[in-house]
Amino acid sequence: MKLAIITIFVSLLLVKYCFATSGNLDISSFGGKPNSDISKALSSAWTQACASTTAAKVLIPSGTYQMGALELKGPCKAPIEIQIDGTIKAPANPASNDVASQFLMIGNADSITVSGNGVIDGQGANTWKQNDCHKNADCKGFTMNLSFKFLNNSIVRDLTSKDSKTFHFNVISCNNFTIDGLKISAPDESPNTDGIHIARSSSVKVINTNIATGDDCISMGDGNKNVTIENVVCGPGHGISVGSLGKYKDEESVEGLLVKNCTFKGTLNGVRIKTFPNSQIQISVTDMHFEDLIMDNVENPIIIDQEYCPLVTKCSTQSPSKIKISNISFKNIKGTTKATPEGIILACSSGVPCQGITMADIDLKFNGAVAKAKCTNVKPTITGTAPTCDA
């Protein structure tokens, strides 16, 4: 009789364990309750999902939760989906995450899906008041909402990120990575709240996403290859930027970018490539194409700036940038510019002038008149309707 009872008990445990490792792992089963800190519960659910030999889903149901900075790392044995349907709030006090550069980091894994109708709330208002990075090169770093590192064949979709202390999404060293259907928001005056930053990654797609921030909607660092940005609405913010590049000695070239069917509303810039003068390294920016774009009251719709030198950075414009820019096209770009008559500024390096720059079918207006193009160290090829360059 005792043996039979023990056998039944062990069987029930095995059934429960197998169901958990291959099915839905609700954080409530690990002690995660609304209006409480779910750091431990989410970490435990991830650990079990990561050990599963079959696909697993970690579920954060509807409700409002708190959480401290957390890292969820692989490698894992099978695909994992993290479905976030609740609101997860970061500590409002920036000192609470002093040692963490990211609020939630997911990394070192394959076939990861992060989905749901939930919200990651960085509660960054108090941090923005303390952020002096625009005038202090030795400023204190703050916590970004979400960071993805060393992920392959993965997707993030449908989430909302709001009021991050700095960057909302950071994508580093990922391959075949898709961002689809996100909503990203922070006030126009919030500093350094880039919507999505991408670096050292390949085959990345950002699609069907709305971004409103106090900095770049999307920024691309060095080492990226084959990035597609499509059906993105940007504004407010600083536009979509490649760079800045050339500040550090270990940077890598950037190759392959398509920005298509995007709308910019009241942004500081539209599409921009920026490199430091007196750059530390000789790398290239090549094979980039910007097409089918709407500029709605944008200060600088199209800009290449190879003398990028913000006040906070110690750099000299006396030596030209060593970054080689080539094979860049701007096609079918329409709308209005609000800052100056120059809707197009191509300020290329005198050391390595831009090559293979094409402008086609560009219709930008400033106060009702055709916007101008100002070009230095470049002779763009113009097809269709587009302004010719003034020196």
CATH number (domain holding residue 197):
2.160.20.10
Q: Which amino acid is at 230?
A: E
Cα torsion 190, 364, 224, 79: sign: positive
| DSSP β-ladder status, 112-115 and 160-162 | unpaired
Q: Quick check: is 238 catalytic? A: yes
Q: Which residues contact 184 (CB under 8 A, 6 or more apart)?
A: 160, 161, 162, 168, 169, 195, 196, 209, 210, 211, 212, 213, 217
Number of structural domains the chain divides into: 1
Strand partners, 286: 255, 326
Q: What is the pLDDT along the chain (391 residues), one digit of tens a residue?
A: 444 444 444 344 443 443 344 579 999 999 999 999 999 999 999 999 999 999 999 999 999 999 999 999 999 999 999 999 999 999 998 776 655 789 999 999 999 999 999 999 999 999 998 887 766 667 777 899 999 999 999 999 999 999 999 999 999 999 999 999 999 999 999 999 999 999 999 999 999 999 999 999 999 999 999 999 999 999 999 999 999 999 889 999 999 999 999 999 999 999 999 999 988 789 999 999 999 999 999 999 999 999 998 866 677 777 899 999 999 999 999 999 998 899 999 999 999 999 999 999 999 999 999 999 999 999 999 999 999 998 6
Choice among 134, 197, 238, 289 that is catalytic: 238
What's the Cα-to-Cα distance from 384 to each of 103, 169, 236, 342, 388, rounded to whole Å? 48, 38, 30, 19, 11
Domain range spanning residue 240? 2-390
Predicted TM-score (pTM) of this structure: 0.92
